[in-house]
Amino acid sequence: MEKSSQSSPGLVPFPALYQKDFRYLWLGQAISFSGTWMHSTAQGWLIYSLTHSPLYLGVVAAFSSMPVLFFSLLGGVAADRFRKRNLIMATQALSMLPAIAIGVLTQLGIITVWEVIPLVFFLGMVNSFDVPARQSYFAEIVEKDNLVGAIALNSAAVNGARIIGPVLAGMVIAYAGLPACFYLNAASFLAVILALARIRAKSAVVPREHESIKKDLLEGMSFVRQNPFIFAVFIIIGAFSLFAIPFINLLPVFAVEVFKRGPKGLGFLAGATGLGAFTGAVTLAYKGGTGRVGRARRMRIGAVLLPIALIAFSESRNFYLSMAILAVAGWSLISFLSLANSSVQLAVSDALRGRVMSVYTIVFLGFAPIGNLILGAASDMAGTTRALAASSSVCLAIVLAFSHRLHARYEGAAA
């Protein structure tokens, strides 16, 4: 792992970027994330164009994240058993295949929702192994003092891409056609593969001999269950995934039916969410994080603000006001998730990190299919705005029940 006298947190802005290996990976992921968000926005537009149904938006989103629920624990075991760098390179290469297939089928004019579903399911299986490995890999290429900043910078890349990707998708759809979005996404995965190829530092964690897969799985789950702070954090993340985050998949409905803005409007709504999230991530990454008490306070604020913002968004009928509200929602979401991610990783040993982050992946991404199906079906029956208001209210109730424990339990979680 590269070390630098300039990398001490608080002495320079964005200290994690002073470590070469992380810088390579971060730049590669920034490019890849832009392609991913372009693909996601284009896919939502494709599904809605084919079906004109919010239910199918929820179904496709559910199938894309459903494998995470079933396979992420195995992905965590793999991350702790094998070299994470090699595992990530393999998953990035496999992720290119569904994007190329959807692009070709769309260009040929033979795409239907029934071709999209198995392709997004395959991508979800790949992500089940990719996400735990990538999340836990940061601890191998940055110093511990810079881990909070590194994770925040990663979130900044995700959410900077959430600004760029959807806006580009709207423009590309309008001027170059839908298939171009999928081809560009496929090409963007090469950026991460090339970045990983340039990383020269050997893994800080040498995979050890493990016992049975079952015992490895139980060991990671037991750690989460016995750590009260981490358990509380995961409950709140699960509430977000079930009742709040699925709103992103309904943005095409708001763009077309509520605001009458078309694909460009969709791009700006999604981009506003990313702008808020990007701002939240950059403020965290600038100094490499904040103090333990400050982290707990900011986590509580973010947890409560997200569902409140979504309730306000569901009631707004002004396009520009709605963009501002989504920016607040994005800030709240990323403020909580970045600090939750880093706090969990600081609380876990290297030998368990992949498995614990696989549980994180399940509650963050794996619960999403249930939430997508619930919100999609509710939108179909009761209307999108009413469904979002109801689900956000449920999320707020859960957050209020558990957020007060974040500060009380924080002292036992992380150094």
Element (H, E) at 318: none
- Residue 244: per-residue pLDDT: 92
Q: What is the DSSP string of 141-199?
A: HS-GGGHHHHHHHHHHHHHHHHHHHHHHHHHHHHHT-HHHHHHHHHHHHHHHHHHHHH-
What confidence tens digit (pLDDT) does each residue in 17-65 have? 777 888 889 999 989 999 998 999 899 889 988 888 877 887 887 788 7
- For 15-200+212-410, the fitting CATH number among 3.90.850.10, 1.20.1250.20, 3.40.50.300, 1.10.510.10 is 1.20.1250.20
Find out whether 410 and 230 touch, Cβ atoms under 8 Å. no
Torsion of CA 222, 228, 229, 230, to 10 degrees: 20
User: Taking the domains of the chain in order of start, what are their residue ranges?
Assistant: 15-200+212-410
Task: Please list the ranges in the chain whose pLDDT falls under 50.
Answer: 1-10, 204, 408-415
Contact between 80 and 353 (Cβ < 8 Å): yes
Q: Which amino acid is present at 38?
A: M
- Find the angle CA(66)-CA(69)-CA(71) to the nearest 5 degrees: 105
* Tokens matching residue 5: 């006298």
d(CA 124, CA 128): 6
Q: What is the largest CA-CA distance in the chain?
A: 59
**pTM across the whole model:** 0.74
The pair of structure tokens assigned to 102 is 């959807």
Cα dist. 204→190, 207, 242, 350, 356 in Å?
24, 10, 35, 9, 18
What's the per-residue H, E or C state across 336-383? HHHHHHHHHHHCCCCCCHHHHHHHHHHHHHHCHHHHHHHHHHHHHHHC
